[in-house]
Amino acid sequence: MQGKFNSGINDTSCCANLSTIVDSSTCVDYSKFAHYRENRVTLMSRTDRRVIRTRKAIMDAFGELIAVQSIDTISISALARKANIDRKTFYLHYPSINALVNSFIQQHLERVLKVFKRHSYLPIEERLHPMLQEANAMFEENIDVWTHLADNLSTDEMIDIIANTLGPAVVNTGLAKEVDAGQLANVLALARLRYALAGALSLYTFWLKNGCKEPVEAVSKIVEDSARNGIYPLERRV
């Protein structure tokens, strides 16, 4: 590559400078370069939309299948047929059914994580209520899927997925920092997070497995009242 990029290029010199980045056959003049760039962005946008549509079709198909059968009996062929794709297309997005399950849970947890970050100006114990409200909505919107996940996944598996999604945000916000504790502070923060998650997840799982007879708000109220003392030590002021 010859020369350097000039951040202050003008219309008369742009082709000379841009040709150092894109070959001369591509950058005959600025208008052609702009057209090339626009087409490339449009192509990427279309690709992104196709990916989103395909993954939504896969997730929708997964939701329909898991409502009538257990995870271990769902085949990729059946899932692909339900999503109106072929097996090869499925593998372009997910390496396995387990990866799809993890992705489903993580996508929903991202909603809770956004609430956590949106209320970053609050102490963690005050963030708990809006986070649980979002979790309640998350469960109610896909209650059949979550019920079957509760029946098919162990508590440890669920905690691993949740902790891997929420854990970095908890640690990176400065929670559980102790004087000269170094990496140990992060380990303790994650340990406390897992402790709190185990109790909360057990209550929601109990609710799901028993037919969701009580309002979900009653469950989150128990979680909130019980978890405050477990979550509060996550915040160490130095």
User: Looking at residue 96, what is its pLDDT?
Assistant: 92
Q: What are the tokens at 104?
A: 């489903």
DSSP 154: -
User: Looking at residue 184, what is its pLDDT?
Assistant: 54
If you write DSSP's letter for every residue of 19-38 in order, what string do you get?
Answer: TTTS-TTT-SSHHHHHHHHH
CA distances from 181 to 130, 188, 233 (A): 30, 10, 15
pLDDT at 91 over 90: yes
Tell me the pLDDT band of 94, cut-offs 50, 70 and 90: very high
Instruction: Give mean pLDDT, residues 179-206.
Output: 73
How do the domains of the chain map onto residue ranges?
14-93, 97-234
Q: Which residue has the tokens 């140990």?
A: 184
- Report whether 162 contacts 105 (CB < 8 A): yes
Say which amino acid occupies 47: T
- Report whether 30 contacts 19 (CB < 8 A): no
Residue among 161, 154, 162 nearest 205 (CA) = 154
Q: What are the tokens at 161?
A: 């997925």
Tell me the pLDDT band of 229, cut-offs 50, 70 and 90: low
- Report whether 90 contacts 79 (CB < 8 A): yes
Tell me the pLDDT band of 67, cut-offs 50, 70 and 90: confident
User: Looking at residue 76, what is its pLDDT?
Assistant: 94
CATH 1.10.10 fits 97-234, yes or no: no
pLDDT at 183 over 60: no
Say which amino acid occupies 74: I
Question: Is the backbone of residue 23 left (phi > 0), alpha (psi -120 to 50) or beta?
Answer: beta
> For 120-134, 156-170, 203-217, which range has the lowest pLDDT when averaged over its residues?
156-170
pLDDT tens sequence across 143-174:
888 888 888 888 888 888 888 877 776 655 54
pLDDT tens sequence across 10-30:
444 444 443 343 444 444 455
User: Looking at residue 185, what is its pLDDT?
Assistant: 60
User: Looking at residue 133, what is its pLDDT?
Assistant: 92
Mean pLDDT of the chain: 74
Q: How large a percentage of the chain has pLDDT more than 90? A: 18
